[in-house]
Structure 1
Amino acid sequence: MPWFALERFDPSFFDTAPHLHRFPIDLPVAPHSVWEGLAGPTPLSWCRGLAAGRYTSPVPHGVGTTREVTAGRILRLHEEFVHWDEGRRHAFCATRATLPLYRRFGEDYRLEPLPGGGTRLTWTFAYEPSPLLRRPAALTGAPGAAFLRTLVADTKRHFGAA
């Protein structure tokens, strides 16, 4: 299977990307429980559209940690973390993919305790489509906007959010 290189970026891309999908999700569980699901040994295991999420770097994890995940059974991504604030935030940029969908792609996960208990997870997907998909993305939000919403729905269901 061929691999396509993506451009690396720093955390500022999560504010400046051509396409940003930001999902604030209020969850009725403590931040440490959400963090364990996001950063533990089987990250995002509850998401039906993701498989084989595994770290390819030894613990302890931090900036520079690498991970591999399969999305939608057809897209494999190698990821490198560009931000890691234990228990509160981590963010990655994809460095390689098995489909040439993106020029740059990454995700940012931020956790904040809610007054009275629970956690606000703000999950941001940031990307710049490949030149081939630039126009369709501008018109439709593709590639993958509907897929991103299923990840959010799976997360709400997993943590018991309404």
Structure 2
Amino acid sequence: MARWYPLLSADADFLVSAPHVFRYEKRYAATPEQVWQSLTSDESLAAWGPAVKNVTWTSPRPFGVGTTREVTAPGGAILRERFFRWDEGHQKSFYVYESTLPLFKRFAEDYIVDADGGQTRFTWVVAVEPKNAMSLPVAILAPLLKAGFGRIPSGGQKYFATT
């Protein structure tokens, strides 16, 4: 049985004020409706490539503020997420409230889907605050973390180029 570590809640301010904020912007060969549908599908980001192993929505549809899900990373860590913003078809944001990985004090993400000509501009923000003991290692490894997280939106480009 997995051991769960609680994280502090986060809000929209944390997405800009966190000690580490990683921002990605990609253009996808799909309509905003197609991208949003993929993000809210049963597979969600797991369909985009190996950077996310599994997504399980733990709230019933229709989704909105308060929706929860569990996400499994390739190494087996599981994150329990709660959405604090849900602007249907355009933007959704969550914070991690529990994790099997004891690294972070706070962790949040923001997804923005915008029309961009005949394509979609996807903006993704990852904001993290490590636990005190992890502050220095996370600061040193921040470029690697940014590159690792960046595999997810890059996977989206490949996914939509072939669907």
* Aligned counterpart in structure 2 of residue 69 of structure 1, from 60, 68, 71: 71
Unaligned runs of 5+ in 2: none
RMSD of the TM alignment (CA)?
A: 1.5
Q: Does the 8 Å contact 2:52/2:74 carry over to 1?
A: yes
Q: CA deviation at 1:139?
A: 2.3
Deviations 1:91-120 (A, max 9, x none): 110000001111111110001111x31110
Number of the residue aligned with 1:81? 83
TM-score computed with the length of structure 2 as normaliser: 0.92
Q: CA deviation at 1:143?
A: 7.3
Q: Is residue 104 of structure 2 the alignment partner of residue 124 of structure 1? A: no
Q: Does the 8 Å contact 2:57/2:69 carry over to 1?
A: yes
Unaligned runs of 5+ in 1: none
TM-score computed with the length of structure 1 as normaliser: 0.93
User: After superposition, where does 1:13-92 map in structure 2 within 5 Å?
Assistant: 13-44=14-45, 45-92=47-94
Q: Does the 8 Å contact 2:29/2:157 carry over to 1?
A: no
Q: Does the 8 Å contact 2:26/2:123 carry over to 1?
A: yes
The sequence identity of aligned pairs, in percent, is 36
Structure 1 or 2: larger helix share?
A: 2
Stretches (4+) displaced over 6 A:
none
CA–CA distance in structure 1, aligned partners of residues 56 and 66 of structure 2 = 15
The AA in structure 2 aligned to 1:137 is V
Look up the SS of the partner of 1:95 in the other structure.
strand
Number of the residue aligned with 2:13? 12
The AA in structure 2 aligned to 1:107 is E
CA–CA distance in structure 1, aligned partners of residues 82 and 140 of structure 2 = 29
Matched residue pairs, number? 160
CA–CA distance in structure 2, aligned partners of residues 23 and 94 of structure 1 = 19
Q: CA deviation at 1:85?
A: 0.3
CA–CA distance in structure 1, aligned partners of residues 114 and 51 of structure 2 = 25
